[in-house]
Structure 1
Amino acid sequence: MASENRVVLWFDGALRDPAEPLLRATDHGLTVGDGVFEACELLDGRPFALTRHLDRLERSADGLGLPTPDREEVARAVEAVAAAWGTDLARIRILWTAGEGPLGSDAAWGPGTLVVAAGAVGAPVAARVAVVPWVRNERSAIAGLKTTSYAENVRALAWAKAHGADEAVFANTRGELCEGTGTNVFVEADGALLTPPLESGCLAGVTRAIVMEWALGAGIEVREETLDIAVMDEARHLALTSSTRGMVPVVAVNGRDLEPGPLTQQVAEIYTRQHVLDTDP
């Protein structure tokens, strides 16, 4: 069992001591959050769905106007970190920033900065969620991008935990169900699994996409559908998906207890079984 404080770190072509200072104080990822990242499960020493994560990393970089990271370099860094980590369950995080830049919002000078790290993560458990009083802006310049500008999520998650939950859920500016701080939301209703469309402003979750594909492959109806945020107070069954959770049932919303839905349980079992067999779907 890995220590929860253990970190394996790669930077500038080599594994490094996690205590070693590496980034310059003027790196734009640090000064203004001008960066993107991916986090994927490291399962038995193998990163799950790495191709999809690297595809999204490149889309996010393009959306921020960053140079495209060298995919071969990223893959080598991930391989080195995974080998050094071992076989314990972990999260591997790929960070790509704009590099050196001004102490303001003008564009960075570059070149980009790549950091890859692994750390321990616990086994997924059922979730308790709270709908937070803030909204996602589905028309934002960074809507749908996985950026390092995560202060909004940090604040929302702290609010949710203060209200007895372990994940926060956002509406968007139109009052529609959007997403969690690091999760996509599924509603189980009328024999189908429903999830907000990307037009809601939610992130195109890698696990969200895989869950939808594998559920459809098993003959389970699953579709994108615009849902009012009020569904969180009305639904009998809800689920969350993310790269480190897989698919888990929601067992409470704003203090209202829920039971895991039968479709959620069925698809979660499919995902748990299949993602061990097919590590890069």
Structure 2
Amino acid sequence: MSIVIWADGRLCGPGDPVVTAVDHGLTVGDGIFETCSVADGHAFALTRHLRRLARSARGLGLTDPDEDAIRAGVEAVLAAAGPDVGRVRITVTAGPGPLGSNRAEPGTARQTVLVLAGPVVRSAVARVVRVPWVRNERSAVAGLKTTSYAENVVALAQAYRRGADEALLANTVGELCEGTGSNVLVERGGELVTPGLASGCLAGITRELLLEWAAEDGLPVREARAGELPFEVLDAVAAGTGHLSLSGSIRNVVPVVSLDERDVVPGELSLAARHLFETRSAENVDP
């Protein structure tokens, strides 16, 4: 299927101009975004995604996006999309601005809001590699979902060159942090443990829901304590004494079956977490 585009209150074709060349999101990456999976024609967990979009906006110093307009855009693209639609992407930028990093004077530029719907390819497993670059947990944009994605593009390209579909990064103090577009969970000692937000990782919606649902279901899933998950914990996964899963809005929860181009075995808790998330997400499209 082709991608369906909504911009400025109307549906647009793929060749229609939708942003100016001086949009600050285009010139310097001054924007935020969210990606929702689509289930039965509805954007999954849309309310939580919009809540995080607003948090990212505040973190960048932008005003809160117009939630009503975005919801209207989501409804419009899903109504126009074909049956194989798998994702909705919401992008908000600071709007037109100078060519440098400074923004337009307050009140002189209107935010650019785009909503797109398109297909997606899903896999029930993940293959990952470690990469040498790090997340800066002290960055001004740590934990924000911004459109400044060049670091992720470079890291993911290396993963693909090595036959993987995700790259795993440490932070500046050597802790396991996250993937380029996913949170990570380490299975060891009868628990699934995910890096805490202080590590610099994104507060993933799937991660958030899994922590909540696991607590309700009695599945041992929790956040790591400070220093509990050094990057070297992945050595245990490679050695077969630990296991690994990824979570994300398109992946949901999936076990890792390859680390650094070597096969690894999914853990029982990782498989149980995948089953729990699939079951609970099917019960409520906007939990």
Tell me if TM exceeds 0.5.
Answer: yes
Deviation digits for residues 219-278 of structure 1 (CA, Å, limit 9, x no counterpart): 111111130001112122100000000000001111232111111111111111221211
> Which of 221, 225, 231 matches 2:233?
231
> Which of 15, 18, 37 matches 1:19?
15
1:3-152 equivalent positions in 2, closer than 5 A: 3=1, 6-109=2-105, 110-152=109-151
Counterpart for residue 278 of structure 1:
284
Contact 2:85–2:117 (CA<8 Å) still a contact in 1? no
Counterpart for residue 270 of structure 2:
264
- Give the C-alpha shift of residue 164 in structure 1: 2.0
Counterpart for residue 186 of structure 2:
187
Distance of aligned partners of 1:71 and 1:234 in 2 relative to their CA distance in 1, 3 Å threshold:
same
Q: Which residue identity is paired with 1:227? A: L
| Stretch deviating more after TM superposition (52-61 or 266-275) | 266-275
| 1:240 and 2:239 aligned | no
| Stretch deviating more after TM superposition (115-124 or 48-57) | 115-124
Percent identity of equivalent pairs: 55
- Give the C-alpha shift of residue 89 in structure 1: 4.1
Deviation digits for residues 64-115 of structure 1 (CA, Å, limit 9, x no counterpart): 0112111111111111111111442411000000001000011234210000
| CA RMSD across the alignment | 1.0
TM-score, length basis structure 2: 0.94
Q: Aligned equivalents of 1:126 and 1:268: distance in 2?
A: 10
Contact 2:183–2:247 (CA<8 Å) still a contact in 1? yes
SS at match of 2:167: strand
SS at match of 1:101: coil
- Give the C-alpha shift of residue 21 in structure 1: 1.5
- Give the C-alpha shift of residue 155 in structure 1: 0.3
TM-score, length basis structure 1: 0.96
Q: Which residue identity is paired with 2:231? A: I
Regions of 4+ moved over 6 Å:
none
Question: Which blocks of at least 5 consecutive residues in structure 1 are unaligned?
Answer: none
Q: Aligned equivalents of 1:273 and 1:233: distance in 2?
A: 31
SS at match of 1:247: strand
Q: Which residue identity is paired with 1:214? A: W
The number of aligned residues is: 277
Counterpart for residue 172 of structure 1:
171
Question: Which blocks of at least 5 consecutive residues in structure 2 are unaligned?
Answer: none
